[in-house]
Amino acid sequence: MTGKRIAWLATFLAIVLAVSGCVGSLTDSDEGAPNAFIPSNLGMDVCWTTAGCHDSATSFDNNQIYSDWSQAGHANVLNVPDTNFFGNSPENCTGCHDISGDSANLGYGGPGDTPINRPVVGCEACHGGVERHFSSYVPPPYPLPDFDRCGQCHNQTFDTVSHGAPEGEAIVENYRASPHFRSVNDAVKADANRAFARCSKCHTDRGAKDYRNVSGGYDTLVAALPRDGTAATPNIFPAEPVQCRTCHFGHTPEDLLLGQNENVPGSSEFNTCTNCHQLTDSTGSRIRAYHDPVVNTRSSVEEIITDTHFGEAGSFTGANGANVLPIAGYVLDANDGRVCRNCHNQHSADLAINRQWIQSDHADTTALGAWAHYNWSDRPDCQRCHTLAGYQAYAAANADGDDSDYSPPLSPDPNYRPQMLYCHGCHADNAGGLNSTGPMTADYSYYSGSTQVTTESFAYTGVAGSNLCMPCHTALQSGATIAGLVSGNGVSVSFSNQSRIQPHYLAAGGVLYRGVGYEYAGTIYDDYPFFRHNAIGIAYTAGLGVEGPCIGCHLSSPESHLLSPFSRDSGGRISSVASTACGGNTDCHVGQFALDAAELNEEEERFHEALDALEQKLATNGYFFAPSYPYFFNTSVPGPPSTWVTDWLSPGDTQIDGSVTGKDNMGAAFNFDLLHHDPGAWVHNRRYTKRLIFDSIDWLEDNTLDGTVDLSAFPEAAAYLDGDPVTTGVQRP
């Protein structure tokens, strides 16, 4: 940060965004004017052309105010809204832009240049009319504009669409509800008007600026800033809260309190925010924050981020390179200019959604969970779904609906720090805007070494914002991969010695759109005529949003980022329906079709018993399931690779390419694995799920599909799968 800007900051400043204007009013009759006399607006050209005071380094205050301002947001260098919009609809702009006719008189590079004729936010918009300041050298009405002055424009009437600024909505209202607005409290006050020097650094506007270069943790602050102040580091007066001008420079509002790599390595945003929300020192190492209760008994972990925002390397020393350490913190890119805004609305500082996300599987910190299980930097094929960087790269590559240009972004790193799916994986801004990617065509091809044996794929038609969910929720292989597997291309396929083709996990999108199950030849897997789950937010939008079924169902509850359509009790049972997409203001599950918690629990339990029945049938045929990779063993006691199932042929089958029994046996195991690892399958596509289970059991009983199954030992499964309760026996659903 330059010295001239620091000097100016002590006397004049600030406003909150680098974007211009809004519908509002900035007349000098605004409530809060300092006295009864209302100075007139003279136009900002008098500030340099007529008076010659604020135009160059030769001016009286040695500040190039005009030069700084003219290149920044309030000078509207992007001409937003453009001149035509401004001219045709001045009532939409002039409350904040060009209140003194400045735009017609200003040159771009300095006084005397060709008029720029674009709607700007000039001096008097922030400082008030300069009539007396110009004639008598008294301060302008607002020498140091505060948050209320900024809020005249940056408020809930701000047109975020016209300005292309989705994060500019309701800034002053958000700020007034934030902890920043309440940063001055009794605990930090030395007296009624002053804040303790040490506390003022982070709790007051002036202290943040006066002590901006005091950077460090508990020991540093204690040594540099005596709590009760000294002549060198006095208590701060006036004790005003942290606000717009604390972090933003009014003439160059894009500039923040600290610059890139100032005090600590990182972007300007990282340095400005962590100057108070302490995280790292000048070497990039984690510090002991001032409010860490380990060193400060008057504090709590709620006041620090060092315990959550500093990602540690995993320890990949377990079996097959598995991680043995849970995720210890978020992996932040300190050099990212949006590093904090990626996950936070800095104006409201509201953590409600963040705390919901923490409870979701997208934030699973367990060592053997999806984000930390292995060193994903060493596994390029896994990066798409198990790392933030890989997911972002894939979504960007598939923006045109063609993922062929995707390349795994991470290089092998023995000190890999596991990444979770953070907010900016899905969101383009902190106002809830979504990133975009195109419709996904899942590649379910099978390779033997480097040889492509099958060319199976499934096109998932565009589902709007829910396209973002499909890359990781459509399985890695499909039942069609098994069905299409034959010898050829120099590869000999033998189902008497064939590693299992498996779906992987959480294939909700694949189940919803019927793209992944092993479908037995000669059978039909169409949806119920009344089935609508796959059209939520696409063909059916009333009360369901327009972003497709995944977002429409999983993010429509009051606690949206838990990602669950149901609320559950401490025992895991459904207690209520949380998603408003399931009823409420929709025409889906209402009236006689309203969802009842008791009925939902019964349906879920029956689904799991049906899977139990299928698991038993598999075991009867010699395919024993265990809850660890590769899941199917030829003995009930899982052991080394020698016990993995590789022979899928039924007794008496001599056609080793699987044309008789091998494919259908592996297909039954595939269907169990698919549905066992999609615990919501019974909701995602009820009929498809039932038919996959029924047909797998039907085949395993006698290696024929005759439409009969024996579920006498599983009455709840029988009730779940029976497609015709009136007819004796369990009929195909």
Domain boundaries of the chain, sorted by first residue = 1-146+158-164, 308-428, 450-536+599-733
Q: Which of 86-95, 247-256, 280-289 has the lowest mean pLDDT?
A: 86-95
Which pLDDT value is given to residue 30? 37
pLDDT-wise least confident of 158-162, 235-239, 525-529? 158-162
Mean pLDDT of 523-529: 95
pLDDT of residue 37 exceeding 70: no
> How is residue 37 written in tokens?
């006399």
Contacts of 22 (CB under 8 A, 6+ apart): 95, 96, 153, 154, 155, 157, 158, 159, 163
- Residue in this structure with the two tokens 């040490």, named with its chain if needed: 198
Q: What is the predicted pLDDT for the residue at 555?
A: 95
Using the predicted structure, report yes or no on whether residue 163 has a pLDDT greater than 60. yes
The overall longest dimension of the chain from CA atoms, in Å, is 107
Please report the pLDDT score of residue 133 as a whole number.
87
DSSP-derived secondary structure letter, 540:
B
14, pLDDT greater than 60: no
Q: Classify 282 in phi/psi space as left (phi over 0), alpha (psi -120 to 50) or beta.
A: alpha
Average pLDDT, the chain: 89
Position 117 pLDDT exceeds 70: no
Cα distance from N-terminal residue to C-terminal residue, the chain = 70
Please say if the pLDDT value at position 676 is more than 80. Answer: yes
pLDDT over 70 percentage in the chain? 89
Query: Is a pLDDT exceeding 60 seen at residue 510?
Result: yes
Average the pLDDT over 31-48 and give the result.
67
Tell me the sheet residues that pair with 442.
458
Number of H helices, E strands in the chain: 24, 8
Average pLDDT over residues 342-358: 97
pLDDT in tens, 628-655: 889 999 999 888 888 999 999 999 998 8
* pLDDT on residue 62: 52
pLDDT at 52: 66
Confidence of residue 426 (pLDDT cuts 50, 70, 90): very high
* Residue 291 DSSP label: T
Section 88-115 average pLDDT: 62
Residues 96-114, mean pLDDT to the nearest whole number: 61
CB 410 within 8 A of CB 376: yes
For 430-454, the pLDDT digits (tens) are 999 999 999 999 999 999 888 888 9
What is the Cα–Cα distance from 405 to 73, expressed in whole angstroms? 36
Q: Is the pLDDT of residue 712 over 80?
A: yes
Query: What pLDDT band is residue 662 in, cutting at 50, 70 and 90?
Result: very high
| CB contact at 8 A, 388 and 421 | yes
pLDDT at position 281 is 95
Query: Of 100-114, 123-137, 245-259, 666-680, where does mean pLDDT reach its minimum?
Result: 100-114
Q: Is the pLDDT of residue 184 over 70?
A: yes
> What one-character DSSP code corresponds to residue 452?
E
DSSP label of 373: S
Please answer whether residues 658 and 497 qualify as being in contact, where contact means their C-beta atoms are separated by less than 8 angstroms. no
Q: What is the pLDDT of residue 3?
A: 41
What local confidence, expressed as pLDDT, does residue 122 receive?
86
Q: Over 90: is that where the pLDDT of 85 sits?
A: no
17 — pLDDT class (breaks 50, 70, 90): very low
Residues 393 and 407 sit within 8 Å (Cβ to Cβ) = yes
Chain centroid, CA 290 distance in Å: 29
Instruction: Evaluate whether 574 touches 600 at the Cβ level (below 8 Å).
Output: yes
Q: How many Å apart are CA 307 and CA 324, to the nearest integer?
A: 19
Q: Is the pLDDT of residue 106 over 70?
A: no
d(CA 687, CA 602): 16
What predicted TM-score, i.e. pTM, was given to this entire model? Answer: 0.90
SS3 content of the chain, % helix, strand, coil (to 5): 35, 5, 60
Q: Residues 298-313: what's their mean pLDDT?
A: 96
Confirm if 334 and 265 have CB atoms less than 8 A apart: yes
Torsion angle, CA of 606/612/613/615, rounded to 10 degrees? Answer: 150
DSSP 385: H
| Angle subtended by helix axes 686-702 and 597-620, to nearest 10 | 30
637: number of Cβ within 10 Å: 8
Position 113 scores a pLDDT of 53
CB atoms within 10 A of CB 723: 14
Quote the pLDDT of residue 41: 84
| Out of 40-44, 126-130, 193-197, 274-278, least confident range | 40-44
Vertex 117, ends 115 and 122: CA angle to 5°? 95
Among 670, 706, 702, smallest CA distance to 522 is for: 706
